[in-house]
Chains A and B, each alone.
Chain A
């Protein structure tokens, strides 16, 4: 395994506590965990594309960053209205 694959594996493993928070804690806590999970997934995709020397795959990371930003903003709106 190269250093990039090890780093990507560590980031993917770090998604587990985020998922646990989303499932077990409040909506606001889950939202914070979702934000971190978006960042972790973007970076893991970037590192995997670097590890496999497939630079077009890095576009997936960019698209995921943009979409997770929009998606989280939508959930923020729900949190605001969910009184």
Chain B
């Protein structure tokens, strides 16, 4: 097994591992906001899988498409996570801002 083969296996395993961790986190966390944190590893996994394709294939059309997909997921996943958190707070409390009944203390400056 060559060095590039080992790199492909390692990157692929790390990428799929990140996706599985995201899946387990979303399945077993307590509430929506805890679950949202686990969308981060899923975008990272996309980057690792695209890197694995690059290492195996070199510059080619599928490598370019994998890079495009990873870049799109890297931008869209945090955007959607933010929008979902905002919408969940509006759904729960009526407003996304801090509410008095939440008793969140903020240090005054």
The interface of chain A, by Cβ under 8 A from chain B, is: 3-4, 7, 10-11, 14, 17-18, 20-21, 26-29, 31-33, 35-36, 39-40, 42-43, 46-47, 49-50, 55, 58-59, 61-62, 65-66, 69, 72-73, 76-77, 79-80, 82-83
Contact = CB atoms under 8 A, between A and B. Distances in A.
Closest 4 interchain pairs by CB?
Answer: A80-B87, A58-B65, A55-B62, A17-B27
B36 interface: yes
Q: With a 10 A CB-CB cut-off, give which of A3, A31, A33, A35 has the most chain B CB atoms.
A: A35
Indicate the size class of the contact surface on chain B.
35 or more
A23 B20 CA distance: 20
B84 A31 contact: yes
A20 B28 CA distance: 12
Consensus secondary structure, chain B interface: helix
Contacts of B76: 65, 69
Interface of B: 8-9, 12, 15-16, 19-20, 22-24, 26-27, 31-32, 35-36, 38-39, 42-43, 45-46, 49, 53, 57, 60-62, 65-66, 68-69, 72-73, 76-77, 80-81, 83-84, 86-88, 90-91, 94
Contacts of A18: 23, 26
A33 B49 contact: no
B65 A61 contact: yes
Contacts of B91: 27-28, 79-80, 82-83
Contacts of B32: 26, 28-29, 32
A32 B77 CA distance: 10
A31 B20 CA distance: 18
